[in-house]
Amino acid sequence: MNGFFDIPSDLQHSWFGLIGLHLREALLPVLAGLLAALPIAQLCVRFRWLYPPVLGVTTVFYAIPSLAFFVVLIDYTGQTELTVMIPLAVYSLVVLVPAIVDGVRSVPQETLAAATALGLGPLRRYLQVQLPIAVPAIVAGLRVAAVSSISLVSVGMLIGNQGALGNLLQDARNYHRPELAVNSVVTTAALAICVDAALVGVRRLLTPWMPRTARHGGRPSAARPAGAAAPEAEEAAR
Amino acid sequence: MIRIDTVTKRYPDGTVAVDRLSLDIPDRSITVLVGPSGCGKTTTLRMINRMVEPTEGTILLDGADIRDQPVTALRRSMGYVIQNAGLFQHRTVVDNIATVPRLLGWSKQKARARAAELMERVGLDASLAKRYPYQLSGGQQQRVGVARALAADPPVLLMDEPFSAVDPVVRKGLQDELLRLQEELGKTIVFVTHDIDEAVTLGTMVAVLRTGGRLAQYAPPAELLSAPADAFVEDFLGTDRGFRRLSFFGSATLRLRTAPVVTADATAEQIAAGAAEAPYVLVTDADGTPLGWAEPRDLTAGRIDPARLLPHGRPFVHGTGSLRAALDCAVLSPTGWAVAVDEAGRAVGVVSQQAIGEAIRAAHGTHRAEAAEEAGVTG
């Protein structure tokens, strides 16, 4: 009963169950973040003066420790997944907003002028020209946001076992089973790598129009969320 | 006709890009707007499809104010070609070209069929249809840009420095192609460039604009070169204005000498007859293709060695070639004589620099007489 994949019954999930839960808790917030970031970024592109304050606000949000977030949210959303997911969604904005803004700005002036001159209205221009061309930069942002979200979910264990794979860390201590901690760390890392690879695949599917030589862009670094989109954005601009 | 009526564009900071400009742009011809940077030529072009709104004045298209119809409808009725082509990098060649037909609600199939037709028309191989812009050369991209502008068969074509980013050889090819297309299609083309040579080559009418967006001169290119309105236009036309003007004089009036053109197996009498008319004779092969020049005394009748001939340089086409081409040919020839060929490249005669000079003086005389007559009629 003490095998690597034998998950204590208090977690009410198998190993695969925990993985599914982990992915949901990590990726739904990124998706929500993306849906929020698209209009915010568009406003920042449209009204240039808005971009610096928006960047400031998202950075400040990112600086709030998740525990502090939980303390505030727990009064409203209780010890639920939602309490974990809301901060993660807010954190993803710090990466996604600049990524989308850079991506949309990377559309060459001539391309935009041509789109206008051919009679595309503002909405068509956004949906049919700016957004598709921004896809590489947006996916680059999504990769950073998804990977960092996957690692952050584990903190949820502090509010009543809402940390999915992270809960194994607590159980490792409670039951004196260090292999559970190893399982938690290794599985989380493997998940992050798989999701990252999947996103690269998605980008390749969406951008058959990119020169192959430019596809090996710099790997976005989670340590520099705000600047992470830059190499990919330049790649898109070429 | 597009009538630009005392149009001014003033920006909020007080800069005047275009200053009380009036132009009548004739139908089915190429009107070139040319001038130094900051002369408002692109602004003027963009006012025609309302990408820039004039501060004062009106623009009429076939008598109706361009503001009378929805702006997107106006733009879809005017093709637009931009510098660097401005292609949609995320769409294939065929989908780029099909943009406006799709906006106009054509079915995907019909739009693509039309795109394929246009690719052929602008000289793009059908195998390029599924390529993306990054897979094309600069010249090919520009052709896609032209095809995209023509896709919905708009009566008006606006071209904003379309050929300035490609190398000179490709540019020359694109210019020839545009003239050929225009002969077939007869669009009303407004063409912006900073290159006076391009303006003179392409324009039916040329509007020279000066810094500050004021019109300096509006005239057909031959008139521009022969009678620049002021010192600014004269400066802008450059130092070889006289030479360029020769482009507008045909070479049909040149009196060619045929005796000095001999074949490689020429007899002594033929060589002597040639030597009587010119210091050199031009040797051709049996088909009449020029091989090179030789001094008559160096030639052995019956068996002339082509390897020992002087190069003949690039010949000009008698009739369709201009006096500029003929003079260029004579200047570059080691003998000072130009070689005239027919459309098939067969030598039809030779002509000396002196004879070309006489033809130039005669052409100027005729031109002056015509101008005086015209002035007499109108004034």
Which residue does chain A place closest to B131, by CA atoms? A209
Q: Residue B309 has what pLDDT?
A: 86
Higher pLDDT, B360 or A2: B360
Residues of A in contact with B89 (CB under 8 A): 111, 133, 209
Judge whether B365 lies within some domain.
no
Judge whether B372 lies within some domain.
no
Q: What is the mean pLDDT of chain B?
A: 91
- 3-class secondary-structure state, position B343: coil
At A72-81, the pLDDT tens digits run 998 898 888 8
> Does the beta-carbon distance from A209 to B51 stay under 8 Å?
no
Q: How far apart are CA B29 and CA B186, in angstroms?
A: 7
Pair A27, A149: CB distance under 8 Å? yes
At A173-186, the pLDDT tens digits run 888 888 888 988 99
At A136-169, the pLDDT tens digits run 999 999 999 999 999 999 888 888 778 888 888 8
Q: How far apart are CA A102 and CA A144, in angstroms?
A: 15
Whether A217 shows a pLDDT value over 80: the answer reads no
Q: Residue A213 has what pLDDT?
A: 63
Same domain, B152 and B284: no
Helical H segments across chain B, by residue range: 41-48, 71-76, 93-97, 99-103, 108-121, 138-150, 168-185, 196-202, 221-226, 231-237, 241-245, 268-277, 323-332, 353-378
Residue B70 at interface with chain A, using a CB cutoff of 8 Å:
no
Q: How far apart are CA A84 and CA A67, in angstroms?
A: 10
B43, B48, B90, B148, best to mutate vs chain A, most A CBs in 10 Å: B90
Same domain, B125 and B221: yes
Judge whether B374 lies within some domain.
no
What's the CATH number where B141 sits? 3.40.50.300
Judge whether B349 lies within some domain.
yes
Query: Which one of B223, B247, B271 terminates a domain?
Result: B247
At B158-169, the pLDDT tens digits run 999 999 888 899
Same domain, B231 and B349: no
> Does the beta-carbon distance from B86 to A209 stay under 8 Å?
no
Same domain, B111 and B182: yes
Same domain, B73 and B211: yes
Residue whose C-alpha is closest to residue B86's, from A234, A109, A130: A109
Domains of chain A, start order: 12-237 (1.10.3720.10)
- Nearest CA-CA distance, residue A34 and chain B, Å: 22
Same domain, B61 and B118: yes
Average pLDDT value for residue range B90-110: 95
Which pLDDT band holds residue B313 (cuts at 50, 70, 90)?
confident
Judge whether B76 lies within some domain.
yes
A107, A111, A118, A138, best to mutate vs chain B, most B CBs in 10 Å: A118
Same domain, B22 and B146: yes
Average pLDDT value for residue range B182-188: 94
> Does the beta-carbon distance from B86 to A113 stay under 8 Å?
yes
At B199-238, the pLDDT tens digits run 999 999 999 999 999 999 999 999 999 899 999 999 999 8
What residues of chain A have any CB closer than 8 angstroms to a CB in chain B? 108, 110-111, 113-121, 124, 129, 132-133, 135, 207-211
Same domain, B231 and B285: no
Q: Residue B148 has what pLDDT?
A: 96
pTM summary value: 0.80
Same domain, B172 and B280: no
**Structural domain count of chain B:** 2
> Does the beta-carbon distance from A108 to B132 stay under 8 Å?
no
CA torsion angle for B2, B5, B8, B9 (degrees, to 10)? -20
CA B369 to chain centre: 27
Whether B379 shows a pLDDT value over 60: the answer reads no
Sequence-distant (6+) residues with CB within 8 A of B332 are B313, B314
Which residue does chain B place closest to A134, by CA atoms? B90
User: Which B residues in the span 22-61 are in contact with A, Cβ-Cβ below 8 Å?
Assistant: 49, 51
At A222-234, the pLDDT tens digits run 333 333 333 333 3
Same domain, B103 and B237: yes
Pair B223, B229: CB distance under 8 Å? no
Range in A5-19, A72-86, B245-259 with the lowest mean pLDDT: A5-19
Whether B7 shows a pLDDT value over 60: the answer reads yes
- Nearest CA-CA distance, residue A118 and chain B, Å: 6
Domain range enclosing B271: 261-358
Pair B159, B179: CB distance under 8 Å? no
Whether B339 shows a pLDDT value over 70: the answer reads yes
Q: Residue A229 has what pLDDT?
A: 37
Q: Residue A238 has what pLDDT?
A: 35
> Does the beta-carbon distance from B49 to A209 stay under 8 Å?
no
Which pLDDT band holds residue A71 (cuts at 50, 70, 90)?
confident
Q: Residue B378 has what pLDDT?
A: 52
Same domain, B215 and B269: no
CB-neighbour burial class of residue B367 (10 A; exposed 0-12, middle 13-18, buried 19+): middle
Average pLDDT value for residue range A85-99: 95
* Cβ atoms < 10 Å from Cβ of B37: 8
Same domain, B231 and B265: no
Whether A219 shows a pLDDT value over 70: the answer reads no
